[in-house]
Structure 1
Amino acid sequence: MSRAPGPDAGSPDRSPSLRPVASGVLANLAVGTLFAWSLVAPDVTADVGAPPGSGSAVFAAALVVFTAVLLGVGRGMARFGPRWLLGAAAVLAGAGLGLTATAQRPELPWLGVGLLFGAANGVAYGVSVALAARVPERRRGAASGLVVGAYAAGPVLLGFAAPPALAVAGWRTALAVLAVTATGLLVAAAALAPADRAAGAGADRAREPVERGALVALWVLFAGGAAPGLVLFATAAPLAAARGLDAEAAGAAVSLLAAGNLAGRLAAGWWSDAVGRLPALVTALAVTTTALGALAVSSGAAAVLPAFAAVGLAYGAVSALVPAATADRVGARAFATVYGRVFTAWGCAGLLAPALAGEVAAAGSRRPGALLLLAAPVVPAVLAVVALARRPTGRGPSAAGNRPTPAGGRG
């Protein structure tokens, strides 16, 4: 029995250029530095006369703007194309970071980072994952993993480079250098991106709008799969200390969480091209649950460090697999619009995570078994995977768990 051809089956170009993927990698490497804001936020808020602790509120505002802007990227790509949108992201990023670097008033970080750099994130991230979605399904997971992995790599790199730079040059110079660097990366990404709004889509035509049930399932999957990792990121250091780690080991736990996130993004997408998107997602959810169980029943570095690394790995995997699974289901042309809605799940989970962080850290020392409650969102996420598996798209690898057939033919 043969399957209906996938979106790339009729494309004359079965070896697409790597330029769009490289564009997405550069763009996300630039804007992912938003997640290193905490490295300079205390100094920024103190010097501009902002209330103590307002740096985290600026970051939350940037996430809200990021999520809201991403909702409009689909229309923007249809009207202007990826190259123009990435050019706009370069202007927004340079202006936002530059404005903050010269700020003398407490409201300017809100404008520079919260609004302008948050908007640059929404535009650049939306375009980047949409470019990865144009890759044929048999390699789409690897492409998505590279693109979203670059977003996580930015703060990892700054984590090493920023402390000595801040000690030598101060936060204003460091932020100005970051503004120039981010702008340059986004300009290079724009140069590599397709100029035509339809470029790279080939014969991949959008199917009918994704059915509401599938959209809801993707939303629940993203929210439930990402929530445990986001909460752990929000409370990593105090939770590690509460589970018996000293300051040095707690720092190692935070580093392992970030490293796991990056490794999960890079590896999971590639692996899903071989085993299927849905099986890979189920594996990631199982790893999250197992790691949280170990964190709840054990203390000390021997248990906590691997658990942090595993949660980071699973969170990174979900972050890479959900966009690839969405593209498999709706096609490349419809992806940017549909994924903007799916991504609001991450935004909601990200805003709730800090609210739960204090309770989670306290539970780590008083009632460690309560940490198992962090696994509660995984239950609806698993049910969402089951629902997606029961909603076959009838087109190639999107059905039967999104497993691609061997290159050169459709089974």
Structure 2
Amino acid sequence: MTARTAGPSRLVLAATVANLAAGTLFGWSLVAQDAAAGVGMSGSAAAGVFATAIVVLAGAVLVAGPAQRRVGPRRLLVIAAVLGGGGLLLAAVVRGPVALWSGVALLFGAGGGLAYGVAVGLAARVPAARRGTATGVVVAAYAAGPVLLGLVAPSALRAVGWRTCLAVLAVVVAALLAAAARLAPAGTAHPDGRPGRAAGVPRRVVSPLWLVFAGGTAPGLLLFAHAVPLAADRQLGPQAAGLAVSALAAGNLTGRLVAGWWSDRIGRVPALAAALAAAAVSVGLLAGPTAPPVVLAGFLGTGVAYGAVSSLVPAATGDRAGPDAFATAYGRVFTGWGLAGLLAPVAGGSLLAVAGDRPVLLGLAAVPLLPAAAGLLLLRRPASRTPAAAAS
């Protein structure tokens, strides 16, 4: 099958299935402590496994563009299935810390990055009028993976242990990626029938989107890393704290779905502006009074804003770079998210430490939104390769 014969619905289905598998990486915290104890690692080392996986994932997304032009989406998803499933299986059956580092951080991180890179690339091939909706569905699947794991993992871990759970997840991940590969185009051609090529990517396309992605997701990444201690600092009880974490996750999923659909109607730049504004307001709520409804609204709004930016940036990249150059352009843009994913949790720990007595300092979590807003202003320049870019 070529890209010409694969209709938009099939492209979206393949991408959604692939991202459902890739997103399970973000369920690592569900098993991290049990796995670390089982191999003699500390809790901080378990967090290091995840941080390393993020770096590897970002690197894999960066190379996914050139790889797709050479081997096509289908073969790349098969490679992702082998790496992702094999990495989890290695971590499940081989004893010792090295198995977790190599299996989860390196192999599963690489497989997840390749799968994500292919998935958003397939969504970018959907016609511009529906690209936002398609991208929203695809990236929502990435967020849905950890949500589904969260429903079944606690009881499964108690019943069979972490090694069996990882082994079962390895099979599920490999099967989902294999199914996505079967649905994906085999060739490297794009919807217009021309062969894939290494199209040039102007800096004026990458740099503003990089700023928006890095700055726009930083508050959400900070909150995801410190949700429970922040809820406690904001004087939420255990039940309300659990509700806050759920609100954050639900907002993330909802933001991804709604923002993409909405941007098809009002344009990418206005939708991104609304997302950044929502993030700023939500941080303000978290830094304000400790009334539980206000704090919960801050968690929910931060999740919605994070999900919206995560959906809108790849769609906007597709508008401005075009299908030929999308994979290369988005690989570079995605490094902004990777940098934020490394720095925001670290900065958040320091911020929570100094904001204990002065919660108003939590407002500093909104500082990264300033360069994101600057990037958004640059995006208003009418420099487009597609009709959708002019509309946004």
- The match for 1:81 is 72
- The match for 2:343 is 352
2:166 to 160, 175, 181: 175
- The match for 1:279 is 270
Residue 358 (structure 1) shift: 1.6
- The match for 2:368 is 377
Whole-angstrom distance in 2 between the partners of 1:262 and 1:349: 19
TM-score by length of 2: 0.96
Whole-angstrom distance in 2 between the partners of 1:42 and 1:126: 29
CA contact (8 A) 1:194 1:200 kept: no
Whole-angstrom distance in 2 between the partners of 1:97 and 1:369: 42
- The match for 1:24 is 15
CA root-mean-square deviation: 1.8
- The match for 2:254 is 263
CA contact (8 A) 2:201 2:321 kept: yes
2:107 is the counterpart of 1:103: no
Whole-angstrom distance in 2 between the partners of 1:174 and 1:199: 39
- The match for 2:330 is 339
2:186 is the counterpart of 1:227: no
2:131 to 140, 146, 149: 140
1:126 to 109, 112, 117: 117
Residue 70 (structure 1) shift: 1.2
CA shift digits 1:303-357 (9 cap, x unpaired): 1111100000000000000000001001011100111000000000000022112
CA shift digits 1:48-75 (9 cap, x unpaired): 1223421100001111111111111111
Name stretches of at least 5 consecutive residues in structure 1 with no aligned partner: 1-10, 403-411
1:252 to 233, 243, 250: 243
Residue 368 (structure 1) shift: 1.0
Query: How do 1:386-401 residues align onto structure 2 when only pairs under 5 Å count?
Result: 386-393=377-384, 395-400=386-391
How many percent identity over aligned positions?
Answer: 54
For these two proteins, the number of residue pairs brought into alignment is 390
Query: How do 1:51-66 residues align onto structure 2 when only pairs under 5 Å count?
Result: 51-66=42-57
Residue 362 (structure 1) shift: 2.9
- The match for 1:405 is none
User: Which amino acid in 2 is paired with 1:351?
Assistant: L
CA shift digits 1:340-388 (9 cap, x unpaired): 0000000000000221122232345311111111111111111111111
Whole-angstrom distance in 1 between the partners of 2:242 and 2:286: 16
2:204 to 213, 220, 241: 213
2:287 to 288, 291, 296: 296
CA contact (8 A) 2:75 2:186 kept: yes
Residue 144 (structure 1) shift: 0.5
Whole-angstrom distance in 2 between the partners of 1:205 and 1:167: 48
Residue 107 (structure 1) shift: 1.0
User: Which amino acid in 2 is paired with 1:128?
Assistant: A
Whole-angstrom distance in 2 between the partners of 1:72 and 1:170: 35
Specify whether residues 218 and 84 from structure 1 end up closer, same or farther in structure 2 by C-alpha distance, changes over 3 A only: same
CA contact (8 A) 1:100 1:108 kept: yes
Name stretches of at least 5 consecutive residues in structure 2 with no aligned partner: none
Whole-angstrom distance in 2 between the partners of 1:107 and 1:201: 46
Whole-angstrom distance in 1 between the partners of 2:43 and 2:313: 36
Whole-angstrom distance in 2 between the partners of 1:92 and 1:395: 35
- The match for 1:237 is 228
Which deviates more, 192-201 or 87-96? Answer: 192-201
CA shift digits 1:250-274 (9 cap, x unpaired): 1110111011001101110011000
Whole-angstrom distance in 1 between the partners of 2:193 and 2:148: 36
2:95 is the counterpart of 1:117: no
Could you say what secondary structure the match of 1:245 adopts? coil
Which deviates more, 123-132 or 200-209? Answer: 200-209
2:35 is the counterpart of 1:48: no
Could you say what secondary structure the match of 1:22 adopts? helix
Whole-angstrom distance in 2 between the partners of 1:49 and 1:140: 47
2:144 is the counterpart of 1:153: yes
Please identify which structure carries the higher helix content: 2
Could you say what secondary structure the match of 2:97 adopts? coil
- The match for 1:406 is none
Could you say what secondary structure the match of 2:28 adopts? helix
Specify whether residues 311 and 45 from structure 1 end up closer, same or farther in structure 2 by C-alpha distance, changes over 3 A only: same
- The match for 1:319 is 310
- The match for 1:8 is none
Residue 207 (structure 1) shift: 10
2:353 is the counterpart of 1:362: yes
Segments ≥4 residues shifted beyond 4 Å:
203-208
Which deviates more, 390-399 or 226-235? Answer: 390-399
Whole-angstrom distance in 2 between the partners of 1:211 and 1:17: 27
Residue 211 (structure 1) shift: 2.2
